[in-house]
Each structure stands twice: as C-alpha cells, then as structure tokens.
Amino acid sequence: MSDKKTILVVEDEEDLRDIVIYNLEREGYKTIGVESGEEGLDCAIALRPDLIILDLMLPGMNGMDVCRKLKQGDGSENLKQPDDIKNIPIIMASAKGEEADIVSGLELGADDYVTKPFSPRILLARVRSVLRRSQQDSKQEASSLNIDGMEIDTRKFKLKINDATVDLTKSEFGILNFLASHRGWVFTRYQIVDAIRGEKYVVTERAIDVQIAGLRKKLGDYGDLIETVRGVGYRFRE
C-alpha cells in the first residue's frame, strides 16, 4: 500500500487493541492506539487520522461523547468542528445488545459499526469499505448516477430506468439520491430526514417508511436495492 492510511484505534481492552492494531498493520495501515476517550479525542484533533475505530464503552469520556465532540464540537452552535475533523470516518465497536447506542452513534455521524466479538476479517472488510466510500464521497460531486440501467439525474431531478422515465415526488427523489450516493452505508430515519430537509421537504421520521415503501413500488425490480436494516434504518445495496 503506497499511500498508507492512518487509523486511530480507541479501545481500553489492551489485548483487543493489540489484536486490532496487529491486523491493521499487517494490511499496510499505519496505526495509533489509545485506551481512553480523552486520548482518542486529543489524537484525532491533533493528528487527523484517515479513520477512527472507536469503542463505545471507555473509561472517562465514552465513545458516544467522543463521536459527538468530533462531529459537532462542544455542542455550542458557535463552536463547530472544522470539516477535516468532522469528516473523519468513524467505525464504532459495541457489544451486542447496545442497539440503541448504535442508532445514536449513527445519528451523531458515525459511518459504520461492528459488534463484539468480531473477527479481524470482518473488521478489515469494514475498514476497507468505509475508507473507499469516504474517498469516493470526497471526490463525488457528480450530476448523475448510473447504476445498472438506473440513471439518477441530480440536476433535473429525474429518474430513468432502462431509458424509461419514472415519476417521483421530490421527497422520493431526495431519499433515492441520498441513499444511492452512499451505497452500502446504513442510515437511520433521522439521518435521512436530516439529509433531505435541506431541500425544505416536509418529512418526518415515520413518514420515511411510507416514502420508501412507495419508492420501492415505483422502482419495480430495482426496489430491493433499498434494504431495511432491522433496528437501525435503511441502506442502498452495494
């Protein structure tokens, strides 16, 4: 790997931290390992890693607070984090049964999650996927998306499937464009609402389910590209 990516591992269990670091470095990544939330926050701000693997249950400042501070600053409207900090991808690591924490983490801006215990192969796959998406997202200001015969024209707010125009409401188009632009990413209903709210669409979290049901119907055979992630939200199949 010629251009080594730097990954910050914030994990208080020393044995697990060492295993994660060993496997990351074997794949060619540079790593930094810390054991507390405070250290993780300081390292992230000072070093600007390419990705953070963040445990939720940490001594002192927990992972949720670290994520919040990195993505939003100290909570003050006047003290937001600069883009190069708030856009650092975060993979949260949580024990099974912390579903509510996973949802909260995704709503704060975390990019993915793994549940403990996890295999090194699973973690590495998630790392590669998140880094790839992040790189694509930073470059992508495309005016249209083409996915196996489905063309999403973001300038004209038009959808074509196999050259046939599909009529969508603005909300449906906004949801489709948002999910399709981040293929493989899992988003909560709140995140989807927040993403399309900027276009002044009147949408509530519960209305997202109705919108997606209607969208799937209009997409026909392409409808199953929008997957339900139970207990979390939705994603566009990668």
Closest CA to 73 of 83, 58, 62, 59: 83
Domain annotation covers residue 225: yes
Identify the residue with better confidence: 157 or 10.
10
Identify the residue with better confidence: 81 or 185.
185
* Mean pLDDT value across residues 132-146: 66
- Residues 17, 133, single domain; the answer is yes
Domain annotation covers residue 74: yes
Q: How many domains does the chain have?
A: 2
* Mean pLDDT value across residues 57-78: 79
Domain boundary among 139, 163, 189: 139
Task: For residues 55 and 210, give the distance between their C-alpha atoms in angstroms, rounded to a whole number.
Answer: 34
Closest CA to 9 of 27, 1, 37: 37
pLDDT score recorded for residue 36: 96
pLDDT score recorded for residue 63: 93
- Residues 106, 36, single domain; the answer is yes
Calculate the average pLDDT of the chain.
Answer: 85
Identify the residue with better confidence: 234 or 95.
234
Domain annotation covers residue 182: yes
Calculate the alpha carbon distances from 200 to 27, 108, 127, 188 in Å.
44, 21, 34, 19
- Residues 133, 48, single domain; the answer is yes
pLDDT in tens, 19-30: 999 999 999 999
Domain annotation covers residue 1: no
Identify the residue with better confidence: 156 or 153.
153
Identify the residue with better confidence: 163 or 109.
163
Q: Which domain holds residue 70?
A: 6-139
Q: For the domain that residue 133 is a member of, what is the CATH number?
A: 3.40.50.2300
Domain annotation covers residue 161: yes
Task: For residues 55 and 91, give the distance between their C-alpha atoms in angstroms, rounded to a whole number.
Answer: 9
Calculate the alpha carbon distances from 163 to 144, 146, 156 in Å.
14, 11, 15
- Residues 21, 126, single domain; the answer is yes
- Residues 148, 133, single domain; the answer is no
- Residues 135, 156, single domain; the answer is no
Residues sharing a CB contact under 8 Å with residue 159, sequence separation 6 or more, in sequence order = 150, 151, 152, 153, 165, 166, 168, 173, 176
Question: What phi and psi values does residue 10 have, to the nearest 5 degrees?
Answer: -110, 100
Which range, of 107-111, 118-122, 214-218, averages the lowest pLDDT?
Answer: 107-111
What does R_g of the chain's alpha carbons equal in angstroms?
19
Single-letter code of the amino acid located at 169: T
pLDDT in tens, 158-209: 899 999 999 988 788 889 999 998 888 899 888 888 777 654 444 566 778 8
CB atoms within 10 A of CB 176: 26
- Residues 120, 151, single domain; the answer is no
